[in-house]
């Protein structure tokens, strides 16, 4: 079975895409692409809905390895991920995505204290990522994402 990823549309229908995304052009210009990875589906889907309704083109996946696979097709401007996920962490996914999509901004979400050690390891490997603590208020998230847009 071919691997896909989920994109929330403004009509709240869930669509799976296995190829290049549709045009990002809108009346206001290009919508920044945000790839969201969180093993908690309700969080990933809710963030995707919020971003899609606020000027972003968001796609959601539910794990680090799925994020790496989706990034090869989706080519995100921003990778927004939970740090601690089963299998591949959000930090490891971010490092791989940074190699696949140079210039992709990384914003990590965490509600766990173990994050400091993981971030320190990423810094040693030459990567600096932004971090927001969970739960993050949607307004704070939108403000942070708009900084790079």
Instruction: Mention the CATH class of domain 5-146.
Output: alpha beta
Query: 103: Cβ–Cβ under 8 A, 6 or more apart, which residues?
Result: none
User: How much is the average pLDDT of 52-69?
Assistant: 98
Does residue 131 contact residue 113 with C-beta atoms inside 8 Å?
Answer: no
In angstroms, rounded to a whole number, what is the distance separating the alpha carbons of residues 70 and 75?
8
Does residue 110 contact residue 84 with C-beta atoms inside 8 Å?
Answer: yes
pLDDT of 85 above 80: yes
pLDDT of 132 above 90: no
pLDDT of 34 above 90: yes
Q: Which residue has the higher pLDDT, 135 or 3?
A: 135
**Spans of all domains in the chain:** 5-146
- The token duo for 136 is 């993050």
């Amino acid at each position: 079975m071919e691997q896909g990823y989920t994109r929330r549309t403004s009509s709240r229908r869930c669509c799976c895409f296995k190829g290049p995304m549709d045009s990002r052009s809108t009346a206001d210009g290009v919508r920044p692409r945000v790839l969201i990875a969180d093993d908690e589906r309700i969080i990933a889907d809710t963030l995707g809905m919020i971003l899609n309704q606020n000027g972003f083109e968001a796609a959601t996946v539910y794990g680090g390895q799925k994020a790496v696979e989706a990034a090869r097709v989706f080519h995100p401007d921003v990778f927004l991920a939970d740090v601690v996920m089963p299998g591949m962490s959000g930090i490891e996914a971010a490092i791989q995505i940074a190699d696949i999509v140079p210039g992709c901004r990384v914003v990590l979400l965490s509600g766990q204290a173990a994050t400091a050690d993981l971030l320190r390891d990423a810094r040693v490997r030459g990567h600096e990522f932004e971090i927001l603590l969970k739960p993050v208020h949607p307004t704070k998230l939108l403000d942070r994402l708009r900084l790079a847009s």
